[in-house]
Structure 1
Amino acid sequence: MKFTRWLFTLLLVTALACGAFAYWLYAAMRTPVEHTSTDYITIEQGVGSNRILQILEEHDVIQAPLAAKLYLRFFDNGNKLQAGDYLFASPISPLEVIARLKDGKKRTKTLTIPEGWTRFEIAKRLQAQFPVEPPLTEEEVLAMMNDVSLIADFAPEAKNLEGFLYPTTYEVELDAHPKSVIEKMVKQFKSVWLPEWDEQARKINKSRFEIVTMASLIENESKIDAERALVASVIENRLEQGIPLGIDATNVYIAKLLNRWDGIIHKSDVEVDHPYNTRKIYGLPPGPISSASKSAFEAALNPAQTDYLYYVLNVEKGDGSHHFYATAAGFSKGKAAYQRWLAGQR
């Protein structure tokens, strides 16, 4: 009888002790605490969990190291803590700190690629913002954009990644290699392309590659979303009637291809015999001339039904919009007004 009472008391005390321990650990791990650390904390590869907790205690982020150590030993796997650069909010609980360490996220930076940029501008930005050892030249980064294996499943006609580096703002690891950033941009392009776009492309008898090429032209010709379908209609009407597209942006692209673009379209850029010179060739250029936005893709897929063949910048509004014309006479009138305005700006 005495033994049974003793055993019961022991079990009761043990249960109460375990309960008290569990309550203390639960409270210690879940209670957010203020800390003074405002800098990134670097956890090197191969550092053990005890040393990681010590580093965090030194930075005031973990203020209950014993609780954290016991939690990792009995309820979690300290081996899952990842190396990386961490910035911890304040207040933050030890449990949230451990969760962040298990994610293993590195320090990142934002990378913005504007709509309408070519692979030349993109290569220049990647080379400047993501230095590596040994250093890469701008030309070497540009050469990485010839890796068409990244887009072969989508557009096997592509000769490089022009038009497939989606323009948006990315969050990229600080030590990212330009090649991995390029891969990220192509992946983003594929994620933006909607399945219903394939069906619409078939309806208007265009391939994916042709839509990407048209979208790049539209992107450069108009920044006004509301009129992009009108620009698309001009392109479509000219293609159907066998009229050269005559798009200035392709002459700019030629100058960039020939490494002679200085911000002005010269007579030599307009008169050059080149596959991208839409003043001389019939049909679309051999490929995209820049990265296009979703709005430009939608316009290429859904051109307005018009008889327009021309457009001229609307100098009266001055907002980047255009006047559209169905006849050469109307276009000549609009062009004369534009040239008078242009002369007055000099």
Structure 2
Amino acid sequence: MQRAAKWATIAAVMLLALIAGNFVYGWTAPGPLTREISVVIKTGSSITSAAQQLEDDGVIKSADTFVNRAKIFGATSTIKAGEFVIPAGSSNSDVLDILTGGKTVQRMVTIPEGWPSIMVYERLMANDRLQGSIEIPVEGSVLPDSYAFEKNESRADVLKRMQDAMTKTIDELWPKRSTDTVAKTPEEALTLASIVEKETSLKSELGIVAGVYSNRIRKGMMLQADPTIIYPITKGKPLGRRIRQSEIADVNNYNTYAMVGLPKGPIANPSRAAIEAVLNPEETTALFFVADGKGGHVFANTLQEHNANVEKWYAIRRQRGEM
């Protein structure tokens, strides 16, 4: 009897060891995935709902088994929300480490400085990792930058972050404006900044270009900014050809060759740097500028100097076969 009881005890211990070993092995053994995939865990998901999603996606074999083992092996960890990359063959243990580690896939959408709102709209609508529709945002309401987003996030939410960033920037910069700025309102600052942004791609020139336009506004001169001619024609997209004389003479609410002062609103979405330049313009006596053929501009105090600079620019363009 004692011998039988001893063997029964040994058998029971071996069985328990086998069950325990299988339990541990089931946690660390390779999973069913045959290829790398990404999964999106929604905000507020419980470990149970996340496990069911993982089972549906083929990441794990059993949601119930995963949850039971996770409670033992990862009871102190919290699953994060976001998009995660799960490698092929990931074990249950690997999957839990990935979901609790918080290393989500960073997807970014970039809005370049000086982009018009029609192009912001087109970029967001073309991104197939976003969902839902949006209207073309108000011109000048988006702060150019790179923005992170989650897979299947709504376009409206991403656009709101872009617009909130612009609102925050204006709210921060407007109270710090110089007494030299010609902008009477934040809206005027955005409008002038959008023109400055479109006129130069060099950060080093933003201040002086803002200074030139500020001088012209103070003197009651037309701004004569080419991008304001183009905006009513293309909504800010590249024109793709030379501006016609009829377009220069066209009278509308944007063309600063046919009106004194600022256009009715922004012609693009200006960067923080352009807004700062308009609110704190560089001190200069220049009233004119033209391209120098090297990516920058040459500035002039008088029309005579400017005309000479224009002739030099035309000579460069003729050498390049552009005229």
Asked if Structure 1 and Structure 2 have the same fold, meaning a TM-score greater than 0.5 normalized by the shorter chain, the answer is: yes
1:198 equivalent in structure 2: 174
1:117 equivalent in structure 2: 115
Which structure 2 residues correspond to residues 207-218 of structure 1 after superposition, within 5 A? 207-218=185-196
1:77 Cα deviation after fit: 9.8
SS at match of 2:221: coil
- Aligned identity (percent) is 23
User: Which residue of 146, 153, 171 maps to 1:169?
Assistant: 146
Q: Deviations over 1:70-124 (max 9, x none)?
A: 553798599x868875314799756533426xx797x764322111111122222
1:184 equivalent in structure 2: 161
1:72 equivalent in structure 2: 71
**Residue identity opposite 1:59 in structure 2:** V
1:97 equivalent in structure 2: 98
Matched-pair contact (CA < 8 Å) for 2:51–2:67:
no
Cα distance, 1:260–1:225 mapped onto 2, change above 3 Å: closer
**Residue identity opposite 1:223 in structure 2:** S
**Residue identity opposite 2:175 in structure 1:** E
Q: Deviations over 1:150-201 (max 9, x none)?
A: xxxxxxxxxxx21121112222233233333321210222344462x22233
1:222 equivalent in structure 2: 200
Matched-pair contact (CA < 8 Å) for 2:217–2:223:
yes
**Residue identity opposite 2:316 in structure 1:** W
SS at match of 2:270: coil
Between the two proteins, the alignment pairs up a number of residues equal to: 292
- Aligned partners of 1:259 and 1:117: how far apart in 2? 8
- Aligned partners of 1:132 and 1:226: how far apart in 2? 36
1:226 Cα deviation after fit: 1.2
Q: TM-score, normalised by structure 2?
A: 0.73
1:42 Cα deviation after fit: 5.8
1:282 equivalent in structure 2: 260
Q: Deviations over 1:26-78 (max 9, x none)?
A: xx99x9x999752214669897465456568x637x99x96862553798599
Cα distance, 1:335–1:75 mapped onto 2, change above 3 Å: closer
**Residue identity opposite 2:176 in structure 1:** Q
SS at match of 2:37: coil
SS at match of 1:324: strand
1:254 equivalent in structure 2: 232
Name the Cα RMSD after superposition: 4.3
SS at match of 1:203: coil
Residue 288 of structure 2 corresponds to residue 340 of structure 1: no
Deviates more, 1:46-55 or 1:289-298: 46-55
Deviates more, 1:334-343 or 1:250-259: 250-259
Cα distance, 1:204–1:73 mapped onto 2, change above 3 Å: farther
Q: Deviations over 1:309-341 (max 9, x none)?
A: 0001112xx1x1111000111001111111122
Question: Which runs of 5 or more residues in structure 2 are unaligned?
Answer: 1-19
1:218 Cα deviation after fit: 0.9
Q: TM-score, normalised by structure 1?
A: 0.68
Matched-pair contact (CA < 8 Å) for 1:50–1:69:
no
Cα distance, 1:51–1:303 mapped onto 2, change above 3 Å: closer
User: Which residue of 278, 287, 292 maps to 2:270?
Assistant: 292
1:158 equivalent in structure 2: none
Residue 122 of structure 2 corresponds to residue 141 of structure 1: no
**Residue identity opposite 2:68 in structure 1:** K
